[in-house]
Amino acid sequence: MVKPFPGSRDGFFRFYCIFLSCPLLWLYFWIGMGYISTVLLFFLGIFCTSLASPSVTETDPVDSLKLALSTGESPAGKINTLLSLSRAVEGHDLKEAMKYAQQAYNLARQDRVKIGELNALLRMGAISLTRNDYNAAMDYAEKANELSHDPGLVKENATARGIMAIIYAELGDYGRSMEINYTILRMFEQINNKMEIGITMGNIGADYLSQKNYKMAIEYLYKALNIARELGDKLGMAHQYNNISGIYLDHLKNYPKALQFLREALKVNSELGNKQLQGINYTNLGITYFRLKETDSALYYYTKGLTTFTESNSPLLIADCEIYLGEYYYHQNDREKSKEYASAALTKGQEYNSFETTLAAAKLLHEISLAEKDSANAYKFSMIQHHAQDSLLIRQNQKEIYKLDFQYNYERIDKARQIKQNRKNYMFGLIVFTLVAGIVIVLLINSRQRIKVKMTLLEKEKVESELYFKNKELTINLIALMKKNEMLADISNKLVMIEQEAKKEETREALSRISHEIQKNADDKMLKEFSIRFQEVHQGFYENLLKKFPDLTQSELKLCAFLRLNMTTKEISELTGQRLLTVEHARYRLRKKLGISNSEANLVTFLSQL
């Protein structure tokens, strides 16, 4: 009969973006027990409001912020004021909170205040999450994630990722939620932010709990508790004590352990002076003792819880506590008192439109009516019960439809994003491939050009080497011819001398003819051989010379060839058998024909350039 008190789940959520100074307090619901109570949501609203603004009057801080907004603040100051206004009114008017956050975002965009734009996106994401608008929340979170990749924005980036983790957890994708939370944990470990490490470990513990992995859930919750103890974070300690006690109470059925951690939680919450959390601890202690069948202790803590909730003016939490008291008295066979508490709870449930409270109270009243054989009231409360069940079912179906719609839209957007990313990757790969291919081609071309140049140089060197050797050979041949010519000339002279001494006319004529023949044959053979060798070494020389100076004679061409070989006048004279003066006159006439008679140009240099 006794249903788990919704307040026992208090420790299984974190409050998201309540303070600017602490941007990573998660709004994290524990949904592993299979239902989420409106009572808890109501409590969350009250508690968030109490954290976000002073409890004396709500209008005072709002009016002060509005007054500050009207003064001549800097753009950054106005953005912070608008965000503070958004937080201040969030507890009672989400639409107004979103309006201020949107104004802050527009102003930050207009004045290019990056941190203001980022905080406004996170604020709008948190509000959208509270409104269960997962599509908008995810959109804001993704924009904030893209905007917060700088090393100095680790907290903001983690906050954006945290919104995504909450959305995935709400959709039942605990694996993805856990994956994001582990990423957040690594981010905070890198900057050694112990407070946020502890909070994130608590969230990972909640992910494990949602997957019914109680061993890992307790391990991470213990880690979070130890960090909270180390830092002296009493609120964190209270949450983790309550989280751990909830696992021992509702899942492991280890009631002594549950009592141990609930007492620790109560002690810390008493030091903090938080009446609502104290009331939840009292009620959870009552549930634990009730399950241990220690009814006196259960009644004591139920009563303490009711008193504490009354002092803190928490109607729906009072109603839940009244249901537990009604169930207690029902099991004690005190139906009148049971009916009294259940009826009070039903009134509050209907007044505050809490279907969960209404359902639990109507169910208890229905059982009491059946026990009293009051069929009219039994039917009445049965109808209320069914109506509340139908309303819960409708709301649940609406939520499921919304989740499906979100999943469909997000999968479609994610698929489009993946296609876009794949296209980017393809284009990037294509560009890289093109660049690499281009570099390879350029290198190949360059290598080929270098090889070609090298081959050309080698070919040129080879040609020059061959030319050098041919020139050398030609020179040697010319020297040999000159020596041969000298020898023949000497023979010819000696024949002339013999001719002069000969007495017979016939003998003289014969010797003269032989001498002349030797000289003629020697000259022709020498010049012919010279011409052949010269043409091999200096191909095109005669053609180029005749092209520019077509009126040159054969003798002048030969003289040009001798000069091209850098031969002196004396050497030419010795080679041709001409006198030095004759060669000098020939050189002068050649300069005139070549058009350089009146210049200081060197004849040999001029011919070398042809």
pLDDT in tens, 538-559: 778 888 888 888 888 888 888 8
Give the three-class secondary structure for 120.
helix
Closest Cα to residue 322, out of 380, 274, 361? 361
Q: Which contacts qualify for 602-606: CB closer than 8 Å, 24 or more apart?
A: 603/563, 604/563, 604/564, 604/566
User: How many CB atoms neighbour CB 558 within 10 A?
Assistant: 20
Cα–Cα distance for residue pair 390/146, rounded to 1 Å: 42
Cα–Cα distance for residue pair 205/215, rounded to 1 Å: 9
Q: Is the pLDDT of residue 132 over 90?
A: no
Q: Which region holds residue 604: left if phi is over 0, alpha if psi is between -120 and 50, else beta?
A: alpha
Q: What pTM did the predictor assign? A: 0.58
pLDDT in tens, 342-396: 999 999 999 988 999 999 999 999 999 999 999 999 999 999 999 999 998 988 8
Q: Is the pLDDT of residue 51 over 50?
A: no
Local confidence band at 150 (pLDDT 50, 70, 90 cut-offs)? confident
Residue 252: partners with Cβ closer than 8 Å, 6 or more residues away: 214
Closest Cα to residue 519, out of 558, 555, 488? 488
Residue whose structure tokens are 């709500």: 58
Residue whose structure tokens are 């003798």: 555
State the number of CA atoms in the 13 A half-sphere of 309 facing the CB. Answer: 23
List the structure tokens of 15: 């409050």
pLDDT in tens, 232-252: 999 899 989 989 999 999 899
> How far does the chain reach from its first CA to its final CA, in angstroms?
121
Give the three-class secondary structure for 566.
coil
Burial (CB < 10 A; 0-12, 13-18, 19+), residue 364, is: buried
Q: How distant, in Å, are the alpha carbons of 133, 401, 523 from that of 157? A: 21, 30, 103
For residues 324 and 45, the answer to whether their CB atoms sit within 8 Å is no
Closest Cα to residue 359, out of 393, 386, 319, 377? 386
Burial (CB < 10 A; 0-12, 13-18, 19+), residue 403, is: middle
Local confidence band at 519 (pLDDT 50, 70, 90 cut-offs)? low
Average pLDDT over all residues of the chain: 81
Please report the pLDDT score of residue 604 as a whole number: 85
Cα–Cα distance for residue pair 319/323, rounded to 1 Å: 6
DSSP symbols for 449-492: HHHHHHHHHHHHHHHHHHHHHHHHHHHHHHHHHHHHHHHHHHHH
Please report the pLDDT score of residue 60 as a whole number: 59
Q: What are the sequence ranges of the domains in the chain?
A: 542-610
Please report the pLDDT score of residue 401 as a whole number: 79
Q: Is the pLDDT of residue 467 over 80?
A: no
Q: Is the pLDDT of residue 46 over 90?
A: no
Q: Is the pLDDT of residue 18 over 90?
A: no
Q: Is the pLDDT of residue 474 over 70?
A: no
Local confidence band at 466 (pLDDT 50, 70, 90 cut-offs)? confident
Give the three-class secondary structure for 362.
helix
Find the largest Cα–Cα distance for the chain. Answer: 187
Cα–Cα distance for residue pair 418/424, rounded to 1 Å: 9
Cα–Cα distance for residue pair 300/293, rounded to 1 Å: 13
Share of residues in the chain with pLDDT > 90 (%): 39
The highest-level CATH class for domain 542-610 is mainly alpha
Q: Is the pLDDT of residue 438 over 50?
A: yes
Closest Cα to residue 290, out of 347, 251, 333, 249? 249
Q: Is the pLDDT of residue 22 over 70?
A: no
For residues 15 and 25, the answer to whether their CB atoms sit within 8 Å is yes
For residues 408 and 138, the answer to whether their CB atoms sit within 8 Å is no
User: How many CB atoms neighbour CB 151 within 10 A?
Assistant: 8
Please report the pLDDT score of residue 231 as a whole number: 93
Alpha-carbon dihedral 505, 507, 513, 518, rounded to 10 degrees: -150
Please report the pLDDT score of residue 428 as a whole number: 87
Q: Reduced to 3 DSSP states, what percent helix, strand and coil does the chain have, rounded to the nearest 5?
A: 80, 0, 20
Q: Which of 42-56, 341-355, 511-525, 551-565 has the lowest mean pLDDT?
A: 42-56
Residue 166: partners with Cβ closer than 8 Å, 6 or more residues away: 16, 26, 27, 28, 129, 177
